[in-house]
Structure 1
């Protein structure tokens, strides 16, 4: 199959998955909790996951699938891997908040080739393809041209109770540095949405602290993979907090994403 075939199938899959999500909204059932009692998984998470897995297996036999709800290991034989988050924002979904999405990424030998993020309730879709740029609802988008950190809107991954005490203290100091040096500090419920905003030029940067600050807290690869490709394809830049490339899905050294023009300035703030 060609890249276009992968894109066509993935786009159709994610739109159909969105119909499932909308059909069962307000009548979903909570199946279990994960890291805490409020970190829930619903029957809709599993329905969407089952649909996506079956569709991938039917269209691409031999390809491996990594999903949030199954967490299977990558297939090192074929090299083709699909990364799916059936419902990114389940907590928002069950609370009747529109801010949730379905995320799909496709890789070959750990190289991102395709990324799609779909917000079914507001019918917003972001599509990135290696070498083809980024589209938001069929419109080609690019990162912003802001080149000064003091004119920049920066999104951050907020802490929770799983963070280390030192991590929370260090993060508080970093927040002060952000507030003093940037235009506005923002946060979204989901990391991939923040990355989409940078890709379409609505924000200039994003910061995920390293694992030593976060303790056991995420995000995981399925939370950010589509957004990483989008920023790169839109002309932006993605590194860890040391300015090095993200390798082998390793987010332990955090993640810094930007429009590229402010990247060095942003790295100075997070060190």
Structure 2
């Protein structure tokens, strides 16, 4: 096991246990709405503090990137932690029990370690580069689907980029004819973890941030899958446009998407 993975697991479990306690005691949660679909709670602030404490205790000089900082802090080494203490925050605020702690570690611009922890189900998804992906220590593999027929796709509405609403809805309409059903759960980290576990066959979403998908991306890759941007390239870290699944599903998704994307989404 990668030595940093142990620390990431410890941080994720501590934060997840805190979140679960708050979920069981909703009156203790303080929710503030900053903007449209943009919430801040004392829960994710405290979970973030716990994660930072665990990281700083073992690796005081590592950089950390999260939604609030939106930039590297103290990045004096080649190692960068990318964290989302509560991925699926809107679900949490609405008492919908589907959210996770997401932690990824990038070393020299490659993601080496990933943890996605679902505290409500006590499901710990982990991966380290070259050593596979696991769920509670059991090996994960993406589905063996050959195409989209009869398959389930996960996605998320681009509520922060509604200028793409028409392209997105056209794409969903086209894919819905080919597949069996969609899942829109509100947590991209868990969606990608579910792709890695074979629970859903593929995933696509517009405009994600690194803290939304960095951990799930490594889970999918280490489970035998692919992650690309909408052009089938590796520009998703900049664009935030993600397609994931086994190689055949990704190919089928990209072929279906190609004629429905605006010029901006093709980049």
Asked if Structure 1 and Structure 2 have the same fold, meaning a TM-score greater than 0.5 normalized by the shorter chain, the answer is yes
The alpha-carbon distance between structure 1 residues 235 and 120, as it changes in their structure 2 partners (threshold 3 A), is same
Residue aligning to 2:162: 163
Alignment of structure 1 residues 62-101 onto 2, 5 Å: 62-73=61-72, 77-101=76-100
Larger deviation: 141-150 or 222-231?
141-150
* TM-score, normalised with respect to structure 2: 0.89
In structure 2, list runs of 5 or more residues that go unmatched: 259-267
Residue aligning to 2:215: 226
SS of alignment partner, residue 105 of structure 2: strand
4+ residue runs over 6 A deviation? none
C-alpha contact 1:128 1:233 (8 A) present in aligned 2: yes
Alignment of structure 1 residues 64-213 onto 2, 5 Å: 64-73=63-72, 77-160=76-159, 162-164=161-163, 167-209=164-206
C-alpha distance in 2 between matches for 1:199 and 1:161: 26
C-alpha contact 2:104 2:113 (8 A) present in aligned 1: yes
Number of equivalences: 256
Residue aligning to 1:236: 225
C-alpha contact 2:65 2:81 (8 A) present in aligned 1: yes
Q: Are 2:252 and 1:265 equivalent residues in the alignment?
A: yes
Residue aligning to 2:32: 32
Deviation at 1:74, TM superposition (A): 6.2
C-alpha distance in 1 between matches for 2:161 and 2:231: 23
C-alpha distance in 2 between matches for 1:138 and 1:123: 12
Residue aligning to 2:14: 16
Residue aligning to 2:262: none
Deviation at 1:186, TM superposition (A): 2.3
The alpha-carbon distance between structure 1 residues 241 and 44, as it changes in their structure 2 partners (threshold 3 A), is same
Root mean square deviation of aligned Cα: 1.9
- Which of 225, 228, 251 is the aligned partner of 2:239? 251
C-alpha distance in 2 between matches for 1:67 and 1:28: 24
Deviation at 1:35, TM superposition (A): 3.2
* TM-score, normalised with respect to structure 1: 0.88
C-alpha contact 2:2 2:128 (8 A) present in aligned 1: no
In structure 1, list runs of 5 or more residues that go unmatched: 210-217
